[in-house]
Amino acid sequence: MIAEFGHYALVLALGLALIQSIVPVLGARLRDDTLMGVAAPAALAQFAFVAASFAALTACYVGSDFSVVNVYENSHSAMPLIYKFTSVWGNHEGSMLLWVLILALFGALVAAFGRNLPSTLKANVLAVQSWIAAAFYLFILVTSNPFLRLPQAPFEGRDLNPILQDFGLAVHPPFLYLGYVGFSISFSFAVAALIEGRIDAAWARWVRPWTLAAWMFLTIGIAMGSYWAYYELGWGGFWFWDPVENASLMPWLAGTALLHSAVVMEKRNALKVWTILLSILAFSLSLIGTFLVRSGVLTSVHTFASDPTRGVFILAILVLFIGGSLALYAWRAPMLKQGGLFAPISREGALVLNNLLLTAACATVFFGTLYPLALEAFNGEKISVGAPFFNMTFGPIFILLILALPLGPLLPWKRADLLGVAQRLIGAAALAIIAIATTFAVTSGGPVLAPFGIGLAVFAMAGALTDLVERLSLFKSPLAISLARARGLPRSAWGTTLAHFGLGVSLLGIVCASTWGSERIVSLKPGATVSISSYDLSFNGIVQRQGANYRELTANFTVRQGGSVIATMEPAKRSFGTRQMTTTEAALLTRGFDQLYLSLGDVEQNGSIAIRLYHKPLVLLIWLGAVVMFIGGGLSLSDRRLRIGAPKPARRPAEKPAMQPAE
């Protein structure tokens, strides 16, 4: 009964979405408040129905109702409770339901908190949001219904893919989807602006908090996915340039660009048309990501068993929304009032450079991800484009970006003195040079580029702090004055500093872990010892254990440093009976920001084992940097200016005609 209830709720949500797709747009056209007023309650009700549907599926999972195909295929009665919750989205159908749940959530949030939006804009935004929602409800109901029943209920389920039986599944997909789907709001705002044919600085102010929130979640979602892959897959790598990772990186790059161009638009009323385009692109890239992952055209960890009809359906959605919005853009954008031009050396100029570099970086990732597909379609050649390609293309562009990063916040709006700003960065540059020299001195004979990587990271971090130090007049005035200034500083300034600082932190982690990390692959007999970096690990033997729904083979190691025991590590192999699969559970030992990583290979008959052992210096900084960026975004989001929202409509000219062609 519960499954049918969920199914029915989803159908009702589709019905509501269809109403919400049409009525508010008509209302905005006819300037009819009653028709426009349909949008907000419809969006709230839509969310309620999708939430009910999602809750129903969750109830099926938690209650292990194996008469539901989806539950039968992805759950097992012996699974720990937390995985019964998370396996709801550990499969294609359920993850699409999570996708629309978040889509409806964002729609409901706009409906609930968008009180100060002009009524026509709000009606159009919610209608556009509902077009997307309707398309995806239809997709779920037609091709990926999670509520279908089996004629005869089996006694036991086929278990969730063991790789996914991890806490990572509880956090990575929801946060990533909050990011992906969050960009739907910027998209809806952009399309609504194109429909209305009017766009101004206030528009940017309304869009920014949503973009910022989506960006924060995407940042943390990508970072958590990276950490999960790092410890679960047993290769010790944190980024593989896998097509699906790229699919999440592209919206992040476009979203980061959007975040910055929206600032220019809000402050200087420039770059309007470009900002609209970026809003469309950011969400389009999210959709392409969904298509790449869900259609089965690419193969990766994230591919669930695929069905060609789904691919075609998502492709149709893709063509409809990306093609439609770009066509609308081509038609309406020239009618929008152009913003002013500005001097190249200025804050605006720096932000344009940021946008150019970010979109260029995004384009290279896009090319590298899709080129193999295109080539195969043309002449059947199968190629793989891997890390070397991306390091060679994405790498240099990002280096330029990070070099320019500290300059931006120091440049004043309108026009600036580049030399003066460069002088203010002398301190940061000096620190960077010291860092490079020190690294060269300490690590003789290492790769030549790595010390410069360190220098770049230090420059980014010190450069980010420079602005803060100056504004607080730290080290120049008494501490009390600096503290008073710190309190007075807008939170968005702290946010910028932290977000830029976080990027430097991540870079430092990436450079250190990939340059000075050491790796050993050895075969060990019980009682043998292996050394890596300053650690000695002795292998004590193997223990068998029984887990909830798996059997575990655990190797016990004692870790010593300088002769004294500091820890024990227990890497394991788990075999899951139902799916006949084994997973490798790496053991991690954290020392400061460094990690010792131990993963188990084959266990031989004679009791000897193969192990893979890594020492990764400062590896935790990679993800901590993302956390710092997330916090920076949060501070910015909590800034008074964004919380209070746009200036009151009274300050803007009274009622204008909806269409306003450019002069």
Euclidean distance between CA atoms 40 and 27, whole angstroms = 13
CB of 392 to other proteins, least distance (A): 4
Q: Tell me how crowded residue 288 is: count the other CB atoms within 10 A of its CB.
A: 20
Task: Please choose, from the candidates 298, 283, 328, the residue with its C-alpha nearest in 3D space to the C-alpha of residue 135.
Answer: 283
Q: Which of 81, 305, 480, 654 binds other proteins (CB under 8 A)?
A: 305
- The residue (of 65 and 348) whose beta carbon lies closer to other proteins is 348
CB of 329 to other proteins, least distance (A): 18
Euclidean distance between CA atoms 39 and 47, whole angstroms = 12
Binding segment for other proteins (CB under 8 A), chosen from 56-64, 216-224, 389-397, 448-456, is 389-397
Q: Which of 153, 422, 426, 521 binds other proteins (CB under 8 A)?
A: 521
Q: Is 70 in the site for other proteins (CB under 8 A)?
A: no
Q: Which of 381, 419, 488, 606 binds other proteins (CB under 8 A)?
A: 381
For the window 134-163, what string marks contact with other proteins as x by the rule CB under 8 A? ---------------------------x-x
Helices 243-268 & 201-232 angle (0-180, nearest 10): 160
- The residue (of 526 and 601) whose beta carbon lies closer to other proteins is 601
Q: Which structure tokens are listed for 308?
A: 């060609």
CB of 636 to other proteins, least distance (A): 26
Binding segment for other proteins (CB under 8 A), chosen from 79-87, 296-304, 452-460, 587-595, is 296-304
Q: Which of 58, 130, 248, 364 binds other proteins (CB under 8 A)?
A: 364
Q: Is 384 in the site for other proteins (CB under 8 A)?
A: yes
Q: Is 573 in the site for other proteins (CB under 8 A)?
A: yes
Binding segment for other proteins (CB under 8 A), chosen from 382-390, 535-543, 562-570, 631-639, is 382-390
- The residue (of 396 and 447) whose beta carbon lies closer to other proteins is 396
Q: Which of 115, 382, 487, 648 binds other proteins (CB under 8 A)?
A: 382
Q: Which of 67, 116, 145, 303 binds other proteins (CB under 8 A)?
A: 303
Euclidean distance between CA atoms 484 and 472, whole angstroms = 8
Euclidean distance between CA atoms 195 and 284, whole angstroms = 18
Q: Is 412 in the site for other proteins (CB under 8 A)?
A: no
* Residues in contact with 30: Cβ distance below 8 Å, sequence separation at least 6, in sequence order: none
Residue type, 47: F
CB of 346 to other proteins, least distance (A): 10
Torsion sign, CA atoms 513, 517, 520, 525: negative
Q: Is 71 in the site for other proteins (CB under 8 A)?
A: no
Say if strands 581-585 and 551-561 run parallel, antiparallel, or are unpaired.
unpaired
**Residues, the chain, total?**
663
Q: Tell me how crowded residue 389 is: count the other CB atoms within 10 A of its CB.
A: 16
Q: Is 413 in the site for other proteins (CB under 8 A)?
A: no
**What CA–CA distances, in Å, run from 554 to 546, 575, 606, 609?**
11, 11, 16, 11
**What CA–CA distances, in Å, run from 555 to 142, 580, 609?**
48, 21, 9
Only one residue has tokens 């209070």, namely 644
Euclidean distance between CA atoms 339 and 264, whole angstroms = 10
Q: Which structure tokens are listed for 235?
A: 């290769």
Q: Which of 22, 78, 171, 301 binds other proteins (CB under 8 A)?
A: 301
Q: Tell me how crowded residue 403 is: count the other CB atoms within 10 A of its CB.
A: 14
Residues of this chain, 591-620, that bind other proteins according to CB under 8 A: 599, 601-602, 610-612
- The residue (of 333 and 628) whose beta carbon lies closer to other proteins is 333
In whole angstroms, what separates CA 503 from the centre of its chain?
A: 14
Euclidean distance between CA atoms 536 and 140, whole angstroms = 53
Torsion sign, CA atoms 303, 308, 313, 316: positive
For the window 7-46, what string marks contact with other proteins as x by the rule CB under 8 A? ----------------------------------------
For the window 323-362, what string marks contact with other proteins as x by the rule CB under 8 A? ------------------xxxx-------xx--xx--xx-
Binding site for other proteins (CB under 8 A): 73, 161, 163, 234, 296, 299, 301, 303, 305, 307, 341-344, 352-353, 356-357, 360-361, 363-364, 367-368, 371, 381-386, 388-389, 392-393, 396-397, 521-523, 573, 579-584, 599, 601-602, 610-612
